[in-house]
Amino acid sequence: MLSGWMPPNVSTFGGQIDSVVYLILYIVGFFFLLAEGLLIYFSISSRRRAPRQAHYNRGERPREAVWILVPALVVLGLDLGIDSAGHHAWELEKSIRPPSTIEIKVTAKQFNWEFTYAGPDGKLGTPDDVTVENDLHVPVGQVIRLSLNSEDVIHSMWVPNFRLKQDVVPGRAIPAWFEATKPGTYEIACSELCGFGHYSMRGSIIVQTADQHAKWMNDNVLHAANTSASAK
Amino acid sequence: MNIAIKPHEHEQHQLGFVRRYIFSTDHKVIGKQYMALSALMAIIGGFSAYIIRWQLAWPESSVPGWGPIGPDQYNAIVTMHGTVMVFFVAMPFLLGGFGNFLIPLMVGADDMAFPRLNAMSFWTQCVASLVLIASMFAPEGPAAAGWTAYVPLSDNPIYTGVYLGQDLWILASALEFASFLMGGVNFVTTALNLRASGMTLMRLPLFVWMEITAAVVFLLSVGPLIAAAIMLLLDRRLGTSFFRPDKGGDPLLWEHLFWFFGHPEVYVVALPGVGIMLEVMPVFARKPIFGYKMIVYSTIAAGLLSFIVWAHHMFVSGMDPRLATPFSITTIMISVPFAIIVFAMIATLWRSSIRFSAAMLFALGGLASFILGGVTGIFLGSQASDIYMHGTYFVVAHFHYTMFPVTFFGGFAGLYFWFPKMFGRAMNELWGKVHFWLSSLFFNGIFIPLFLVGIGGSPRRIYELSSYDMLKPLQPLHVIATVCALGLFAAQIPFIVNLFYSMVRGKVAEKNPWHANTLEWTLDSPLHHPNFPVPPRVYRDPYEYSVPNLSEDWLPQDQPPSLVEAATAAR
Amino acid sequence: MAAGAQSVSAIAETDHLREIPAGKMAVWIFLASEILVFGGLITGFVLYQFAHGGFAADAAHVKWRFGAFNTLVLVTSSMTMIMALASARADDRRRVRTYLFLTILLGCLFLGVKGFEYRGEFREGFYPSSGMFWSFYFGMTGLHAMHMMGGIVINLMLLIAATRNVSSEFLQRRIEYGGLYWHFVDVVWIFLFPLLYLT
């Protein structure tokens, strides 16, 4: 039902997030239809028809109150179930960051995204790092570890296709990660108001096959001549 | 025992026009003043919504009646829309307006505990409103960092280009807080101290319970935001570095302080609106409210719980991820008292006898919309689902399905219901129903599409969708929403005509046209000063409708039992 | 079922909430929200301490002797405030005026010392813009000082009332409420002093 509206998921942890969303949809959908249905049904069936009087009922006796309290407890139970499922999905994206050789420094600024690759020496934070604007090239099927940084205000890295969202806060280096399952180009949006250019702060993640990516890295990052030509 | 009669009250009729109508200390006048002020501010809030909606539907075009709009202006208008609607429309209308007008009447008092403080609270709100309006004329425009004013965007003027406008925004907010602090003190003291003889706490109308809870929640939650506002102003003007990362400050501290207030704040708005529905429904269903005590305890529980859920606004903020699940759990817990209140309201309708007056339609429609708002909150309260939904239009649709129904539908339910008491005349019921059905249709037509826009992945507060290929297909939804928004604005015309016409030419209303039980209906319309020529005596709770074996299907709170027995015996 | 499921309440009910005078209730409610204002600032300060491993270097520049003296001044002023209330209860207008005057004097002394401290700190080159610790130091003591000024104004109004022909009951109540506020401002300082001067 929602899948028609949500962009297709191509990340490893995205499926778990979607499951939680669907779980919530089924549970609240049921209660929504029940509550609205009863509301409408009672309104119509109880419309005034003289001389029939309303049934005097204060709902304070235990056998009356249970009609409210038991459903409320069911709601509580189901909600805790939602939280439990949510906890697993949350941990997957936010707490458990698998190891990987691919580390990218992401810099958000007014108003675009920069991606810094470790250069030929394989280490981030050294002079041979290569920074590109707007487009992040990564290989499919591999864990990509990110360090999110902001140069100015709070931004938020939002990749709908990965179900990945993380605010980027100045003064902090916030870890994130993903593993893409399918090659393609996936858009990054900024999802925290960051100034007048907030609406156009588009980036993209270009997921390539291993071969394509190796070639791209060779042409753009690893070649020594390119390190001084980093697009800044 | 009632309060001692204050000598100055008998001199009210000798006061000049200014003292009686402008600087009045009469809670009924002040209540109407608040309503009038919030109506004026609603024009600004509504017009800003019009601009936003036009821009989103037809980004290439110039907004009729305004002109072309750029992205920085857009952000300022979004900020003004949120700030005005929450602080300058919803709160003054539901708390300042209805709270002031009704609380003394419903508890059986002649006025609020501190009438002059009450007047001062209104005039402070006036000054606050003027300051906010003034900020719109500041050289670089008004604040443009959202009603949430996240730092460093709001903290360092270079990031928005807005200097004076943001400072005035801080000042206007501070004055608004001061106004409601004064009001809140009045509400709580009046409801606790000035109740008529026999009006125990468990006989209070639920509207009063809602207002007291809202007042207490506001009083206890606003402090940290006042602290934060001071810190923000000091950062901007004195060079302190509370929120400046380059000098050791932390932007997340602002978020914690803001949302510690911000979440309880939404219940401060929601509870009175629900309270109005709880007063209107039993009257037109001729049936007691189901589970009065359950509702009271749930309200108190919701008020308490509202203080420990705030970080669900911050799941992806960069705070420690281990905080997410605990706050998810507390957030989920708060849905229980609200579920109880909603189920109890629905149970009230069961086997009742409903007359679909305009007020009742608005109450029922408000409840129906609020239910959708409430359930969509679960998608945001769950930490995992929130990763997707946070910062998207889903949030926008969710809070418009909670805040809007309680303010708009709840507010109109109250207006149509208490209009005879306020103005001594009746509003036209037919046009009231037209107003309801049109508003309902168009309201849903705006925000259902916006849920879908959010599920489609669109962030909030964006000037247009065309930057993103993935969002372009959602554009038709924005067009539908805007067309319905225009319809919603147009649907208010019957109401405005009805309101002003009825105020002067409406049919003169009797004392208690709805046959309701609460104390305000025992008095003449329009009301006098002092309210109660004879101090009232209360014998029962407000919802004794359709009590078996009585000649009438209603039983006022102040009707002595001896008379009740006589009526029973007479059958 | 009897007419109306409610039982009729006894004529003379006790409802303890109604026995608290409205003014006192109002002051307590106001103070509750004020506690949260300072609470917000203090919590922020404490959290920053943890995040930054303390402010020992900067904090060394505040003069704890002045802080301690000021603490003594404020505690004494709370005592004179209590004496003013006791005198009001004993209907001794002269003593009421004396103690209120002393309280005001001590408040002004506090502010004077604080101003002297600020001047010294500015001379040494420490301003609100000098970093995290100073942001909090000037912010919190500044806000506290503004509350002190408000308290002095309130006490001045009480002093004026005590010279006029107001009823004893009125004066007692007003001094009690003013005293509650004054004690609150004192208690806030008692929190600020160790946090800012002794860490």
Q: Which two tokens stand for residue B313?
A: 């606004």
CB atoms within 10 A of CB A117: 23
pLDDT on residue B111? 95
Q: Any bridge partners for residue A109, and if so which?
A: A112
The domain defined by B205-483 folds into: Cytochrome C Oxidase; Chain A (1.20.210)
Determine which of B179, B220, B225, B241 to mutate to test the interface with C (most C C-beta atoms within 10 Å).
B241
- Per cent of chain C over pLDDT 90 is 76
**Has residue B343 got a pLDDT over 80?**
yes
Give chains near A: 3+ CB pairs under 8 A: B
User: What is the amino acid identity at position B97?
Assistant: G
Q: How confident is the model at residue B8 (pLDDT cuts 50, 70, 90)?
A: very low
Q: How confident is the model at residue C58 (pLDDT cuts 50, 70, 90)?
A: confident
CATH number at residue C160: 1.20.120.80
Cβ pairs bridging B and C (under 8 Å): 149
Determine which of C1, C13, C18, C180 to mutate to test the interface with B (most B C-beta atoms within 10 Å).
C18
SS (H, E, C) A69-96: HHHHHHHHHHHHHHHHHHHHHHHHHHHC
Report the SS3 class of residue B197.
strand
Name the minimum distance, in Å, from the CA of B453 to any CA of chain A.
8
B231/C1 CB distance under 8 A: no
User: Do the strands A135-139 and A164-168 form a parallel or antiparallel pair, or are they unpaired?
Assistant: unpaired
> Mean of the pLDDT values across residues B320-333?
95
Q: Which two tokens stand for residue C23?
A: 């003014």
Q: How confident is the model at residue A231 (pLDDT cuts 50, 70, 90)?
A: very low
Nearest to B531 by CA among B561, B562, B513, B558: B558
Residues 6+ apart with CB under 8 A from B106: B204, B205, B207, B208, B518, B519, B520
Q: Give B-chain residues touching C34 at CB under 8 angstroms.
A: 223
Contact B376/B401 with Cβ under 8 angstroms?
yes
A194 touches chain B (CB under 8 A): yes
Q: How confident is the model at residue B13 (pLDDT cuts 50, 70, 90)?
A: low
Residues 6+ apart with CB under 8 A from C5: A58, B544, B547
Q: What's the distance, CA B401 to chain centroid? A: 13
**Has residue A226 got a pLDDT over 60?**
no
Name the minimum distance, in Å, from the CA of B75 to any CA of chain A.
7
A194/B153 CB distance under 8 A: yes
Q: How confident is the model at residue C52 (pLDDT cuts 50, 70, 90)?
A: confident
Name the minimum distance, in Å, from the CA of C66 to any CA of chain B.
23
Contact B185/C33 with Cβ under 8 angstroms?
no
Q: What are the angstrom distances between the C-alpha of A178 and each of A66, A216, B290?
A: 47, 20, 51
pLDDT on residue B466? 92
* Segments forming the whole domain that contains residue C34: 23-197
> Mean of the pLDDT values across residues B222-235?
96
- Domains in chain A (CATH in brackets) are 14-95 (no CATH), 102-227 (2.60.40.420)
- Is C191 within the bounds of a domain? yes
The tally of domains found in chain C comes to 1
Report the SS3 class of residue C50.
helix
Name the minimum distance, in Å, from the CA of B203 to any CA of chain C.
10
User: What is the amino acid identity at position B519?
Assistant: L
Q: Give A-chain residues touching B356 at CB under 8 angstroms.
A: 43, 47
Which range is least confidently modeled, B169-183, B197-211, B242-256, C54-68?
C54-68
User: Do the strands A143-150 and A102-109 form a parallel or antiparallel pair, or are they unpaired?
Assistant: parallel
Handedness of CA B76, B82, B83, B85 (dihedral sign): positive
Q: How confident is the model at residue A81 (pLDDT cuts 50, 70, 90)?
A: very high
Nearest CA in chain B to C30: B185
B223 touches chain C (CB under 8 A): yes
Residues 152-191 of A with CB under 8 A from B: 152-154, 156, 158, 160-161, 163-172, 174, 187, 189-191
Residues 6+ apart with CB under 8 A from C138: B234, B238, B240, C118, C127, C128
Mean of the per-residue pLDDT values for chain B?
Answer: 94
A43/B364 CB distance under 8 A: yes
Determine which of B351, B385, B549 to mutate to test the interface with A (most A C-beta atoms within 10 Å).
B385
**Has residue B570 got a pLDDT over 80?**
no
B354/A48 CB distance under 8 A: yes
> Mean of the pLDDT values across residues B468-483?
96
C131/B225 CB distance under 8 A: no
Name the minimum distance, in Å, from the CA of B554 to any CA of chain C.
10
B223/C33 CB distance under 8 A: yes
Q: Give B-chain residues touching A54 at CB under 8 angstroms.
A: 285-287, 351-353, 545-546, 553
pLDDT on residue B569? 56
Cα–Cα distance for residue pair C120/A13, rounded to 1 Å: 58
**Has residue B371 got a pLDDT over 90?**
yes
Q: What are the angstrom distances between the C-alpha of C140 and each of A167, B152, B178, C143?
A: 30, 21, 19, 5
Q: Give B-chain residues touching C35 at CB under 8 angstroms.
A: 223
Q: What are phi and psi of A157, to 5 degrees?
A: -85, 115
Q: Which two tokens stand for residue B274?
A: 């629900």
Task: Give the N- to C-terminal CA distance of chain C in Å, as an integer.
Answer: 70
Contact B281/B360 with Cβ under 8 angstroms?
yes
Q: Give A-chain residues touching B543 at CB under 8 angstroms.
A: 58
CB-nearest to B239 from C8, C129, C136 is: C129
What is the side-by-side order of every strand in the sheet holding A135-139? A135-139, A203-208, A184-190, A155-159, A164-168
Q: Any bridge partners for residue A47, and if so which?
A: B354
pLDDT on residue A1? 60
Report the SS3 class of residue B554.
strand
Name the minimum distance, in Å, from the CA of A227 to any CA of chain B.
28
Report the SS3 class of residue B459.
strand
Task: Give residue-wise pLDDT tens across range A185-203.
Answer: 999 999 999 999 999 999 9
Contact B255/B181 with Cβ under 8 angstroms?
no
C3/B241 CB distance under 8 A: no
Instruction: Map tokens 């940290």 to a residue.
Output: B224
**Has residue B204 got a pLDDT over 70?**
yes
Nearest CA in chain B to A197: B71
A31: left (phi over 0), alpha (psi -120 to 50) or beta: alpha
Name the minimum distance, in Å, from the CA of B556 to any CA of chain C.
11
Report the SS3 class of residue B186.
helix
User: Do the strands A155-159 and A184-190 form a parallel or antiparallel pair, or are they unpaired?
Assistant: antiparallel
> Mean of the pLDDT values across residues C153-176?
93
Q: Give A-chain residues touching B333 at CB under 8 angstroms.
A: 76, 79
pTM of the predicted model as reported, rounded to 2 decimal places? 0.93
pLDDT on residue B39? 97
Contact B410/B273 with Cβ under 8 angstroms?
yes
SS (H, E, C) chain A: CCCCCCCCCCECCHHHHHHHHHHHHHHHHHHHHHHHHHHHHHHHHCECCCCCCCCCCCCCCHHHHHHHHHHHHHHHHHHHHHHHHHHHHHHHHHHCCCCCCEEEEEEEECCEEEEEECCCCCCCCCCCCEEEECEEEEECCCEEEEEEEECCCCEEEEEHHHCEEEEECCCCCEEEEEEECCCEEEEEEECCCCCCCHHHCCEEEEEECHHHHHHHHHHHHHCHHHHCCCCC
Task: Give residue-wise pLDDT tens across range C115-124.
Answer: 999 999 999 9
CB atoms within 10 A of CB B92: 31
User: What is the amino acid identity at position C94?
Assistant: R
**Has residue B473 got a pLDDT over 70?**
yes
- Is C127 within the bounds of a domain? yes
Task: Give residue-wise pLDDT tens across range C127-162.
Answer: 999 989 999 999 999 999 999 999 999 999 999 999
Residues 6+ apart with CB under 8 A from A141: A179, A180, A181, A210
Nearest CA in chain B to A167: B317
A146 touches chain B (CB under 8 A): no
- Per cent of chain A over pLDDT 70 is 95
C1/B548 CB distance under 8 A: yes
Length of chain C: 199
Name the minimum distance, in Å, from the CA of C156 to any CA of chain B.
20
Nearest to B292 by CA among B548, B540, B515: B540
**Has residue B3 got a pLDDT over 70?**
no
ipTM of the complex: 0.94
- Is C1 within the bounds of a domain? no
Mean of the per-residue pLDDT values for chain A?
Answer: 93
Name the minimum distance, in Å, from the CA of A228 to any CA of chain B.
28
Q: In b/e form, how buried is each residue of B527-536, taking b as 16+ CB within 10 angstroms? A: bebbbbeebb
Task: Give residue-wise pLDDT tens across range A172-183.
Answer: 999 999 999 999
- Is C109 within the bounds of a domain? yes
A202 touches chain B (CB under 8 A): yes
Length of chain A: 232
Q: How confident is the model at residue C20 (pLDDT cuts 50, 70, 90)?
A: confident
Cβ pairs bridging A and B (under 8 Å): 306
Cα–Cα distance for residue pair B17/A99, rounded to 1 Å: 77
